[in-house]
Amino acid sequence: MTLAQDDGPEPGGDDLFAAEYVLGVLDADEREIASRRIDADATFARLVDAWEARLSPMAAAYPETEPPIRVKEALDRRLFVAEPRSGLWSSLAFWRGLAAASVAALAITIAVPYLNPPVEPPRLVASLTADGSDVRYLAVYDAAHRKIGLSHVSGERAAGKDFELWMIEGKNAPVSMGIIPAGQIAHMTIAPAVQEKLAQGAVLAVSLEPAGGSPTGQPTGPVVAAGDLKSI
Amino acid sequence: MKDRAAFDLLYRQTSAKLFGVCLRVLKDRGEAEEALQEVFVKIWTKADRFAVSELSPISWLVAIARNHAIDRIRARREPATYIDAALEVADPAPGPEAAVVAGGESERIYRCLDELEKDRAAAVRGAYLQGESYAELAVRHGVPLNTMRTWLRRSLLKLRECLER
């Protein structure tokens, strides 16, 4: 075998490591290292992307094969039914904040059906995210108690800045709901004027503002997360 | 609900291709179905990553499917058994692939692969399309692991040089 005696030094370096990852020849441990670096190191991620682009024409050789319908059915269950529930259940800390109110509400619901027709107070959730931003909040609106609970998932505010929460309803100008208190879980009381318009389909948005909030009454900084309220 | 319509569309347009990727790499229908499911969950929850990638949408999706399927076979195979698996896998012939090649970019990469020695080009194709590891390729081509590593690294550099020419 003459191949082992190829001339020249052994090639190496990040670019080749990226190439080997894309080609698919690395073992499990090496692939784990590469995939961590893709997440943590933008320069390395770009090298990987460039190799994906170079080699991707070979993917034309993969024949298209229709998957069985059960795959789609399982995905629908997983993404659109099961996940929101497990997502909420997994943020138990968030629910704990609303627990006292819920228990009180439950007691009333049990005791009062004889007096009032049972009216389910709307409970709406919104997942707040935005492209190009790592700020994420999960918001739950408890109409019965005029409260909004915010679970801070990720993304820090810059020094000397505050996150301000806005409601956008239809084509109307954003209405401030106040500065979001720092911390993992934040509770905000909703002003009656805002509550009137806060319903399913309304958009909640978070903007980055000077400390103390927008000086103009309208968002002045970038919107770092937004999402519409959905009924649960 | 809007999200769900978008997902349905994405699934309709891409699932056959991505299933083809999973099947080819995993060579097991049940496992490919599971992998496809995981791939779509990944795509759906990591869609924001696409914004920072320079790849075309379908290349990005194929990359996610390929990498996921390859991670799965690496996790599945113990070192001792993947040598057996390597021995069972037939050499990927250039024939059927060449037939699928539509032209343009694909034609160019196959022209560049043709500039490599025949067995090295076959190793590159086998690695890319089936996710074969250095260890598997070394066994199948009957060369030491380090030789295979050197072969493929040099081949990758030559490929890049040819593609950028």
Whether A23 shows a pLDDT value over 50: the answer reads yes
Q: What is the pLDDT of residues A125-136, one digit of tens each?
A: 788 888 888 888
Same domain membership, residue A147 and residue A217 = yes
pLDDT-based confidence at residue A111 (cuts at 50, 70, 90) = very low
Whether B27 shows a pLDDT value over 80: the answer reads yes
Q: What is the pLDDT of residues A66-94, one digit of tens each?
A: 999 999 999 988 888 744 444 443 344 44
Inter-chain residue contact B160 with A61, CB threshold 8 Å: no
- Mutate which of A17, A22, A23 to test chain B, going by most B C-beta atoms within 10 A? A23
Inter-chain residue contact B106 with A53, CB threshold 8 Å: no
Ordered domains of chain B (ranges, CATH): 1-76 (1.10.1740.10), 79-165 (1.10.10.10)
pLDDT-based confidence at residue A102 (cuts at 50, 70, 90) = very low
Residue that wins the pLDDT comparison between B149 and A136? B149
User: Which tokens belong to A157?
Assistant: 């505010």
A227: nearest Cα among A130, A143, A144, A109 = A130
Q: Is residue A84 part of a domain?
A: no
User: Which tokens belong to B129?
Assistant: 């399309």
ipTM computed for the complex = 0.85
SS3 assignment, position A13: coil
Average pLDDT rounded to a whole number, residues B74-96? 49
Q: What is the pLDDT of residues B60-82, one digit of tens each?
A: 889 999 999 999 999 885 444 44
SS3 assignment, position A105: helix
- Mutate which of B41, B44, B60, B128 to test chain A, going by most A C-beta atoms within 10 A? B128
User: Which tokens belong to B161?
Assistant: 């040089």
Shortest distance, CA B38 to any CA of chain A (angstroms): 9
pLDDT at B65: 96
Closest residue of chain A to B53, computed from CA coordinates? A49
Which domain covers residue A56, as residue numbers?
A: 11-61
Q: What is the CATH classification number for the domain harbouring A153?
A: 2.60.40
Enumerate the residues of chain B whose CB falls inside 8 A of the CB of residue A22: 63
Average pLDDT rounded to a whole number, residues B12-32? 94
Q: Is residue A1 part of a domain?
A: no
pLDDT-based confidence at residue B1 (cuts at 50, 70, 90) = very low
Same domain membership, residue A139 and residue A41 = no
Sheet holding A230-231, edge to edge: A185-189, A147-154, A136-142, A123-128, A230-231
Looking at the 3D structure of chain A, how many domains does it have? 2
What's chain B's Rg over C-alpha atoms?
Answer: 17
Whether B122 shows a pLDDT value over 50: the answer reads yes
Sign of torsion, CA A15 B26 B129 A68? negative
